[in-house]
């Protein structure tokens, strides 16, 4: 019996050396023992590998499940959004007592509770950007109930308005006065939390209907603490943290209205849209748009000029020219003589009321896209009714990250004088785009399968 040494398998034996077991029993025994040892080792190694692979598969499975759980938890955390608050619930709450903080209420309105696809997506973007807020979707029926409860003096005018677009315009003024918070049209996409924006304008926020004893502006007994407006040096105006540009001065401890500027032309009558509004509760400014509507309802004016942006623009000018002086005493006097005087009764001692003011935000905060200023090229990307509309490209070319914008409006113009604009509604009801740019509908999916 002969065996030939293989230096690769048995490196401890000389290469090519022939061993005869009969003539060399000791070396033969060594070789035999080595052979048996290697056979057992290889067998054990095979069993060990199987066991190792089994254990590895087991841990892979456990890791996969764990990762799946973590991924779902992460998705749930990322998807956290403002809680739905039904209008009928809000209508039953007591009125706010903190008049210098903006409640974390996000108001939107539609004819019913079923939103077009793009409106649904953008509404969720705002709820996710402000997750500790409450979100209220007001329907036409809810708006009527709101008027009956809090503005009965306006009910006959409200009923006499030509169509729902006029009523929707007027109702948002009532949201702001009665409850405060933020209102935004449904074609508004939020790209940042509003709380950080308001903080830049020295305005605090509070959970709606928080007890006075828990508010920063009331002492433990519920009495308002003496708040003095911050004196602002006009030679050193505040700067935007995002852009370094000047922003409007805004003092702490004031009753405030926030509106947005579209574009940079302050003389353009559409430059202060009513698509976005913010306010502390009970601010007396909001009576002016309703009084104007009441006075001019018989004029036959189109929605924009009776209840829309140009009408709001005129009321802003009226407020600043006539009432926005000192602590706002003249506006408080006007409010106290009106039909809403029992809702938030003004004090006869003006020093006991916090000062009031209005802030018109620079264009980049909430209206970075201007349909008037930005021209046809941007319209193709940023106006939702265009076939070439792309929200992602619009935000990119406008540089929203650079400006530190908090929201953007895509100007759906879904309404008409007598209802809704059918062609524009078709665009809003189209499925939203997937990350690959394909429409998420059955036809496109079927086309892919056929390809």
- What would the two tokens of residue 303 be? 């929605």
DSSP H helices in 114-163: 117-129, 140-150, 155-160
pLDDT of residue 23: 45
| CB neighbours of residue 435 within 10 Å | 6
> In 3-state terms, what secondary structure has residue 252?
coil
- Neighbouring C-alpha atoms within 13 Å toward the C-beta of 123: 24
> In 3-state terms, what secondary structure has residue 264?
coil
Place of tokens 């991924």: 71
pLDDT of residue 231: 40
pLDDT of residue 81: 95
Beta-sheet strands, E only, within 276-331:
276-279
Beta-sheet strands, E only, within 15-153:
18-20, 83-84, 102-103, 105-109, 134-138
DSSP strand pairing (2-4 vs 102-103): unpaired
- Neighbouring C-alpha atoms within 13 Å toward the C-beta of 304: 10
pLDDT of residue 41: 52
pLDDT of residue 397: 94
- What would the two tokens of residue 143 be? 């708006």
Strand partners, 239: 246
| CB neighbours of residue 370 within 10 Å | 23
pLDDT of residue 320: 94
pLDDT of residue 377: 82
Strand partners, 416: 419
pLDDT of residue 347: 57
pLDDT of residue 55: 38
Q: Identify whether the C-beta of residue 218 lies closer than 8 Å to the C-beta of residue 99.
A: no
**pLDDT, averaged in runs of 10, over the chain (451 residues):** 39 38 51 57 48 41 42 51 97 93 97 93 97 97 97 96 94 97 97 95 89 46 38 55 80 94 95 97 96 94 94 96 85 87 67 87 96 87 91 95 95 67 66 50 39 41
pLDDT of residue 75: 47
Coarse DSSP helix, strand, coil percentages of the chain, rounded to the nearest 5 percent: 45, 15, 40
pLDDT of residue 63: 36
- What would the two tokens of residue 66 be? 């764990």
Q: Identify whether the C-beta of residue 410 lies closer than 8 Å to the C-beta of residue 189.
A: yes
**C-alpha to C-alpha distance for 119 and 109, rounded to whole angstroms:** 11
Q: What is the pTM of this model?
A: 0.75
Please provide the DSSP assignment of 318-369 as one string: HIIIII-STTSHHHHHHHHHSTTTTTSPPPSSGGGSPPEEEEEE-HHHH---
| CB neighbours of residue 430 within 10 Å | 16
pLDDT of residue 200: 93
Output the CA torsion 103→262→273→108 (10° steps). Answer: -40
**C-alpha to C-alpha distance for 417 and 436, rounded to whole angstroms:** 37
How many helices (H) and strands (E) in the chain? 17, 15
Place of tokens 């293989």: 6
**What's the Rg (C-alpha) of the chain?**
35
Burial level of 287, CB count in 10 A (0-12/13-18/19+)?
buried
- The DSSP output letter for 323 is I
């Amino acid at each position: 019996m002969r065996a030939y040494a293989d230096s690769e398998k048995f490196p401890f034996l000389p290469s090519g050396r022939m061993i005869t077991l009969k003539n060399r029993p000791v070396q033969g025994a060594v070789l035999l023992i080595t052979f048996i040892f290697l056979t057992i080792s290889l067998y054990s190694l095979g069993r060990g590998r199987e066991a190792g692979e089994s254990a590895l598969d087991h841990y892979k499975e456990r890791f996969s499940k764990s990762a799946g759980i973590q991924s779902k938890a992460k998705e749930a955390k990322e998807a956290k959004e403002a809680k739905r608050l039904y209008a009928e619930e809000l209508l039953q709450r007591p009125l706010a007592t903190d008049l210098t903080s903006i409640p974390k209420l996000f108001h939107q309105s539609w004819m019913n509770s079923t939103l077009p696809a793009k409106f649904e997506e953008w509404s969720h973007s705002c709820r996710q950007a402000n997750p500790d807020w409450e979100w209220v979707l007001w329907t036409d029926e809810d708006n009527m109930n709101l008027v009956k409860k809090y503005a009965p003096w306006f009910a006959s005018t409200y009923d006499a308005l030509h169509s729902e677009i006029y009523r929707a315009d007027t109702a948002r003024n009532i949201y702001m006065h009665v409850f405060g918070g933020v209102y935004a049209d449904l074609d508004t996409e939020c790209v940042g939390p509003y709380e950080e924006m308001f903080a830049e304008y020295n305005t605090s926020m509070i959970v709606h209907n928080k007890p006075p004893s828990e508010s920063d502006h009331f002492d433990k007994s519920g009495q308002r603490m003496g708040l003095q407006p911050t004196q602002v040096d006009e030679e050193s105006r505040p700067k935007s943290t995002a852009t370094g540009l000047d922003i409007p001065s805004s003092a702490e401890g004031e009753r405030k209205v926030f509106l947005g500027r579209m574009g940079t032309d302050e003389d353009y009558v559409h430059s202060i849209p009513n698509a976005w509004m913010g306010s502390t509760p009970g601010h007396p400014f909001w009576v002016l748009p309703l009084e104007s509507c009441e006075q001019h309802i018989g004029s036959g004016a189109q929605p924009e000029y009776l209840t829309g942006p140009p009408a709001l623009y005129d009321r802003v000018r009226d407020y600043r020219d006539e009432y926005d002086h000192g602590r706002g005493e003249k506006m408080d006097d006007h409010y106290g003589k009106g039909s809403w005087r029992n809702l938030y009764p003004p004090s006869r001692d003006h020093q006991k009321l916090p000062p009031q003011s209005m802030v018109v935000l620079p264009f980049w905060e909430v209206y970075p896209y201007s349909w008037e200023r930005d021209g046809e090229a941007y319209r193709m990307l940023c106006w939702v009714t265009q076939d070439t509309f792309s929200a992602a490209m619009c935000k990119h070319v406008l540089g929203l990250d650079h400006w530190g914008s908090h929201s953007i409006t895509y100007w759906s113009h879904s309404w008409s004088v007598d209802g809704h604009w059918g062609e524009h509604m078709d665009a809003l009801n189209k499925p939203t785009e997937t990350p690959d740019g394909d429409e998420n509908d059955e036809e496109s999916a079927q086309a892919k399968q056929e390809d």
